[in-house]
Amino acid sequence: MSRLLIASDHAGFELKERLKASLERLGVEYQDLGAHSAEPVDYPDLAHRVARAVSLGQAERGVLVCGSGQGMVMTANRHRGVRAALAYDEQSARLAREHNDANILALGGRALDPGHAERILEVWLETSFAGGRHQRRIRKIDAEEE
């Protein structure tokens, strides 16, 4: 896999740091785009950094963490070609990759047990897009400009 980007706001900082250790253990190369402390920051700034890079093809995938994951996923999905998914268990992570070819994973730092979040990340990383009938649907996601 080409470069993976990871970012969080202050509410997701602790979980992001733990996920970075998981990525290292799994041998996944990544770049941390911030936040670099638990000091308050605005989640859209971090989500846009990662989503913009994925949208432009500068990274294959991204991982975003905030308190609930909701703000990150909403912001990331504003970028064309980004298919960000909020995962709350292993099955939602697997289906997001297998059926929706999710290229950004959003997680809730205040909503998930860290060990559970690590398992979700591993499943998301290990699952391939199934293609086939799902490919046709993926092509319909980006809205046409009016």
Which residues are annotated as catalytic? Answer: 66, 99
Nearest Cα neighbor of 73 from 32, 96, 44 is 44
- Kindly report the CA angle at 73 between 69 and 75, in degrees rounded to 5? 120
Counting every residue written for the chain, the total comes to: 146
Helix (H, G, I), strand (E, B) or coil at 139: helix
Q: Which 8-state DSSP code applies to residue 11?
A: G
CA atoms of 26 and 130, how far apart (whole Å): 23
